[in-house]
Amino acid sequence: MTVRPGPSTRVRVRRLSGHSARDRRDDLATEEPLEIRLAAPDGSRRTVAITMRTPGHDFELAAGFLHGEGLAAGDGIAAIAYCTDADLPPEARYNTVTVHLNGPIPELPALDRHFVTSSACGVCGSAGLDALRHRCAPVPGGTLKLTPEVLYALPEALREAQGVFGKTGGLHAAGLFTADGTPLAVREDVGRHNAVDKLVGWAALNRRLPLAEHVLMVSGRASYEIMQKALAAGVPAVCAVSAPSSLAVDLARSFGMTLVGFLRGERCNVYAGEERILIME
């Protein structure tokens, strides 16, 4: 019988305290590979990504990854299922998903490189800003406005929704919020970019894209990959507990996005798009 991996794994550890030791059980965040395959109506198939992730919301992860890389939008996906191909051993069934497309597998330059991602960073060799402009338009001005009170409440709201983090202490999280701070969805993963993909996949599969009036909150730093995925989903504002990278700031400024970093307590830095933050002078 094939066992489906869960988001946490129980292990036995030896805990040291001073000069004493005792054995106990500990819960760790599960990290396993996920292979994403595309299947077209003509029977053609292709592997496009292998990522290390925390099991859970795997279909959303696949849909979000494909959307962020411009390989398949929500309406281009017919179905997503765990793979039962003959070349796959039973123990790998829940670590491989097949995304069935409504049309042919796209002939894009992105498919000429084999995506290999890890839990620590995003897709290796992601497109630069110039290449990104060919497939992503700047975020429209819209009506999204955020008060400092809403911003300051986001980290705690995200933390309260992290169920697996409470058991393991080893997961990143990404949360999607409305302008008044209401949480719509929160996803966890050992990789911060995977958590964002799961959120975008949730929105894509529920026909909620673009996310023009929403704010994305992430538990770690704001990297270029996270900003790229937010841009592809139409998210105008991204907030992070830690620092942004220089390229993340460049992307935000180039595409009209709001980027907030070091959001802790009642303090933060606004690196781009300060016009969306309502400050009473």
- Is residue 261 in a domain? yes
Indicate the number of domains in the chain. 2
Among the candidates 81, 101, 132, a domain finishes at: 132
Read off the pLDDT of residues 5-23 as tens digits, 9 standing for 90 and up: 888 888 898 889 888 899 9
Residues 193 and 258 occupy one common structural domain: yes
Q: Is the pLDDT of residue 245 over 90?
A: yes
Residues 158 and 75 occupy one common structural domain: no
Q: Is 160 annotated as a binding residue?
A: no
Residues 125 and 201 occupy one common structural domain: no
- Is residue 49 in a domain? yes
The pLDDT of residue 37 is 93
| Better-predicted residue by pLDDT, 174 or 141 | 174
Catalytic positions, written as ranges: 121
Q: Which domain holds residue 257?
A: 148-276
Q: Is 56 exposed, middle or buried (0-12, 13-18, 19+ CB in 10 A)?
A: middle
Residues 38 and 158 occupy one common structural domain: no
SS (H, E, C) 189-212: ECCHHHHHHHHHHHHHHCCCCCCC
- Is residue 2 in a domain? no
- Is residue 247 in a domain? yes
Q: What is the pLDDT confidence band of residue 133, given thresholds at 50, 70 and 90?
A: confident
Residues 87 and 117 occupy one common structural domain: yes
- Is residue 18 in a domain? no
- Measured in degrees and rounded to the nearest 5, phi and psi for residue 173 equal -145, 155
Residues 174 and 88 occupy one common structural domain: no
- Is residue 24 in a domain? no
Among the candidates 132, 158, 177, a domain finishes at: 132
Start-to-end Cα distance in the chain: 64
Which domain CATH number covers 172? Answer: 3.40.140.10
The pLDDT of residue 228 is 94
Residues 269 and 155 occupy one common structural domain: yes
Residues 57 and 156 occupy one common structural domain: no
The pLDDT of residue 141 is 77
The pLDDT of residue 27 is 84
Residues 220 and 252 occupy one common structural domain: yes
Read off the pLDDT of residues 181-232 as tens digits, 9 standing for 90 and up: 999 999 999 988 999 999 999 999 999 999 999 999 999 899 999 999 999 9
Q: Is 107 annotated as a binding residue?
A: no
How large a percentage of the chain has pLDDT more than 70?
A: 89
- Is residue 1 in a domain? no
Q: Is 70 annotated as a binding residue?
A: no
Residues 119 and 152 occupy one common structural domain: no
Residues 154 and 110 occupy one common structural domain: no
Among the candidates 63, 97, 132, a domain finishes at: 132
Q: Is 275 annotated as a binding residue?
A: no
Residues 267 and 184 occupy one common structural domain: yes
**Whether the Cβ atoms of residue 221 and residue 245 lie closer than 8 Å to each other:** yes
In the chain, DSSP assigns E strands to: 8-17, 20-29, 32-39, 45-53, 77-82, 96-101, 115-116, 172-177, 183-189, 215-218, 237-240, 258-264, 267-272
The pLDDT of residue 17 is 86
Q: Is 262 annotated as a binding residue?
A: yes
Read off the pLDDT of residues 81-115 as tens digits, 9 standing for 90 and up: 998 777 778 778 899 999 999 999 987 655 544 45
Q: Is 213 annotated as a binding residue?
A: no
- Is residue 22 in a domain? no
Q: What is the pLDDT confidence band of residue 170, given thresholds at 50, 70 and 90?
A: low
Which domain CATH number covers 79? Answer: 3.10.20.10
**Crossing angle of the two packed helices 58-68 and 192-205, in degrees rounded to 10:** 90
Alpha helix stretches (DSSP H) within 80-147: 129-132
What is the pTM (predicted TM-score) of this model? Answer: 0.87
